[in-house]
Structure 1
Amino acid sequence: MPVISTNIAANSAVRHLNANSAEQSASLAKLASGTRIAQASDDAAGLAISTRISSDVTTLTQAATNASHGISILQTADGGAANISDILQRMKALSAQSASGTVTDGERTYINAEFTQLIEEIDGISTGTRYNGESLLDGSSSQDFATGINIMVGSDAGDMILLQIGLLDSTTLGVDAAAVDTQANALAAIALIDTAIDTVSNARANIGALESRFAFRGASIATSVENLSAANSAIADVDVAAESAKLASAKVKTQAAVAAAAQASQMPQELLKLLN
């Protein structure tokens, strides 16, 4: 029924115009942000899942850095242990030289002088092998590397690797009181040094095993980050092609609604012509 007091056609056109305009704005927001979930109402469940995955990815990224730091600590410790091992081999050679009956006590005094300096150097390396200011091999660090420190290598509180490094100072190795100033002392020193070399070798073997574990965990973390990022992309990232098509459709419908609203606003004027 044609009326002039209520423009029903205009009201309907404006309602569709508002709906189409909102759809167009929503598509623009998604394309501009690159995410399918521009606001929680777009997909509440998807938003919750995406937020949790994003949190895990962020934590795992830091965990990968932690694992890298663990490897660096172990490599630093292994470098110090390798130097100590070299010193012990030199000390054994000196002991063998002093233990020989072809050497006089006067010459043993000179040999013992080097031997004593090498014992001090073991302690110097043990103290001086540091990471981030903390000594790794002598037990003087504020962190007890001998007992072990936990390094977080995952997204859960239980994802820890215990990093342990054996003490390698002269006292722990049992050579702090060794000497080669006499033939008897030199023979005793050889046995002590053999035990010390075994201790250092065991410590280096454990360091190498931990390095391998951290390396594999780092690779596992990288795989997890890649897979979780892909999963999050499937949930949250906008399909640009599909959303662009949706935007084009909404734009056309908005233009049509604008044209319809303009025509509807002219209808009362047309009806007034009946009064002429």
Structure 2
Amino acid sequence: MPVIATNTAANSAIRFLNKNASMAANSVSKLSSGSRIVRASDDAAGLAISTKLTADTTALKQAGTNAAQAASVLQVADGGLARISDVLQRMKALTAQAISGAVTSAERGYINAEYTALNSEVQGILDTTTFNGSELIKGAYNESFFVGLGASGAINAIAADLTTGVTVTAPGGGTTGATNANASAASALIDTQIANVSTARATVGALISRFETRGDQIATSVENIEAANSAIKDVDLAAEQSRLVSANVLTQAAVSAVSQANQIPQSLLRVLQ
């Protein structure tokens, strides 16, 4: 029935115009953000999963940093232990020289002077091998580093504790008591200390290897989780661009339809003329 009070065609055209314009705006938002989920209504379940994966990725990236820092701490400890090992090797050579019958008591006194100075240097290395104010091989360093997800993600890092047992008896002092027996006793003690330092370095090295391996594993996990998250939330540019083009065409068609619908009452008025 022809009427002029209600333009049903125009109302319908306007409804489709608003719908098409909304579709175009939504596509523009997705394309500009690069995300398929701009609003929760776009994909509620996908948003929940993506948010959790993003949180896991954030935690794992920090865990990777923590693993690298832990390895760095232990490498500092290993560096100190390596220098102590070098000093002990020289002290071992001095005891071997003092044991020899080719040197006199006076010469053993000279050997003792260097030996004593090196022994003091061992103590100096123990005092100065620190990280962020913490003594690593003198203060029984024992800290945990969070390198995973959840309560089970912590690894305890224990550096070598060489607070005791690093001071050894000198091969002799001056011309008094500078004997082969003293040098032999000192040599045996040096052997013990070399073994202790070697054991400590092995322990530290194993921990460094563990933290480096965990860092590699974390990097792999981050890569895989980000790939999975991308599949959920990232927009397909080609498909979304096609939808935008389609929505723009429909919007233009709806604008034209509204214009045509608005002319219908004008045509009906001619009946009254």
TM over 0.5: yes
Matched, 1:273 2:264: no
Alignment-mate amino acid for residue 153 of structure 2: D
1:187 aligned residue: 184
1:150 aligned residue: 144
Alignment-mate amino acid for residue 227 of structure 2: A
Alignment-mate amino acid for residue 152 of structure 2: G
3-state DSSP of counterpart to 2:107: helix
3-state DSSP of counterpart to 1:163: strand
Equivalent positions of 1:77-96 (< 5 A) are 77-96=77-96
Equivalent positions of 1:135-214 (< 5 A) are 135-139=135-139, 144-145=140-141, 148-169=142-163, 172=164, 174-181=165-172, 182-183=178-179, 184-214=181-211
3-state DSSP of counterpart to 2:145: strand
Residue of structure 2 aligned with 1:218, choices 215, 219, 243: 215
Q: Distance in 1 between matches of 2:121 and 2:138?
A: 13
1:56 aligned residue: 56
Size of the alignment, in residue pairs?
267
Matched, 1:98 2:98: yes
Task: List alignment gaps of at least 5 residues for structure 2.
Answer: 173-177
Equivalent positions of 1:108-127 (< 5 A) are 108-127=108-127
Q: Distance in 2 between matches of 1:120 and 1:200?
A: 16
**CA drift at 1:131:** 2.1
Task: List alignment gaps of at least 5 residues for structure 1.
Answer: none
Q: Distance in 2 between matches of 1:177 and 1:34?
A: 68
Percent of counterpart pairs with the same letter? Answer: 57
Alignment-mate amino acid for residue 226 of structure 1: E
Q: Distance in 1 between matches of 2:65 and 2:242?
A: 42
1:20 aligned residue: 20
**CA drift at 1:138:** 1.2
**CA drift at 1:177:** 4.7
2:168–2:190 Cα contact (<8 Å) kept: no
Of 70-79 and 117-126, the range deviating more from structure 2: 70-79
1:20–1:251 Cα contact (<8 Å) kept: yes
Q: Distance in 1 between matches of 2:166 and 2:239?
A: 75
Q: Distance in 2 between matches of 1:85 and 1:159?
A: 33
3-state DSSP of counterpart to 1:138: coil
1:241 aligned residue: 238
2:175 aligned residue: none
Q: Distance in 2 between matches of 1:28 and 1:88?
A: 71
Residue of structure 2 aligned with 1:227, choices 224, 227, 230: 224
1:175–1:192 Cα contact (<8 Å) kept: no
Alignment TM-score, normalising by the size of structure 2: 0.94
1:81–1:168 Cα contact (<8 Å) kept: no
1:43 aligned residue: 43
Q: Distance in 2 between matches of 1:104 and 1:168?
A: 34
Q: Distance in 2 between matches of 1:267 and 1:114?
A: 112
**CA drift at 1:249:** 0.8
2:92–2:187 Cα contact (<8 Å) kept: yes
**CA drift at 1:25:** 0.5
Q: Distance in 1 between matches of 2:166 and 2:207?
A: 27
**CA drift at 1:100:** 2.5
2:168–2:189 Cα contact (<8 Å) kept: no
2:122–2:166 Cα contact (<8 Å) kept: no
